[in-house]
Amino acid sequence: LSWKDRITEALENEGLELHYQGIYYPKTRKLAHLEALVRMKDRQKLGELIMPGMFITHAEKTGKIIDIDRWVIRTTIELLGQKANIPSIAINISGRSFDEPEMPDYISQQLKLHKVNPARLLVELTETAAVSDIRDAERFIDALRATGCTVCLDDFGTGFASFAYLKQLKADVLKIDGFFIKDIISDHDSQVFVKGMVSMAHEMGKTTIAEFVENEAIFNMLIELGIDQVQGYYLDKPMKDHPGLNII
């Protein structure tokens, strides 16, 4: 089977699943959001999962990513409707979906259908080669914000989510790329970058998230640097049955 056929098969036969990783307020360690991350069941090796790094690029090349994004939107909003105690869920939307004029309407419809407060959906925009037109991204973000969703630029500081884009795209949240976080203890420049990004974000009224928080030293330094929220293996790993799904 081609990747296109495998993805189609997965979409039609419950072959996708979402795993969840926590995003926390560092001082209280209270859950701020859960990030939903998609996996594909491996039909060849029963019980094994195929990670997005393997299939997302194929999904983007074949256009199947639009169906995956819709599935993620639908599944997540349904879950938010069922579980009023989940504060909010972050989903990843591919740049390919920016060009789909009906995507914001689809999100808005699903929120209404399941009676979910739009602020509980955090939409992370990720870079892809398909982001050909910044105006599409801008339109997409403006429509999402008009709906009341929270918008986050993922992998901020590298590639697409960079300063030039920040000037044009009205995001509420910046998720600072793990590239700046991983070696922040030993690399003074990374500390300077993160400090600068946090200060700039706060001046603009935006919230900051640090990803790839892998140990206590990094965690403590990020508190010192004033980061708002943290995500990473020090806190938890993506999992199917995240405890945050069951908080009362």
Rg (CA), the chain: 18
DSSP-assigned letter for residue 239: B
Given candidates 60, 69, 154, 177, which one binds Mn ion under the rule CB under 5 A?
154
Residue 25 interacting entry, from Na ion, ligand G, Mn ion, none, C-beta within 5 to 8 Å by type: none
Given candidates 35, 60, 69, 155, which one binds Na ion under the rule CB under 5 A?
155
Residue nearest to ligand G (CB): 232
Q: Does 38 bind ligand G (CB under 6 A)?
A: yes
Task: List the structure tokens of 221.
Answer: 């330094």
Q: Does 214 bind ligand G (CB under 6 A)?
A: yes
Write out the binding residues for Mn ion, residues 121-140 only, by CB under 5 A: 124
Given candidates 22, 26, 104, 232, which one binds ligand G under the rule CB under 6 A?
232
* Longest CA pairwise span in the chain (Å): 51
Burial class (CB in 10 A: 0-12, 13-18, 19+), 44: exposed
Alpha-carbon distance 166 to 150, whole Å?
15
- Contact pattern for ligand G over residues 65 through 104, marking x by CB under 6 A: x--xx--x-------------------xxx----------
CA angle, 222 then 226 then 228, to 5°? 90
SS3 232: coil
Interface residues with Na ion (CB under 5 A) are 154-155
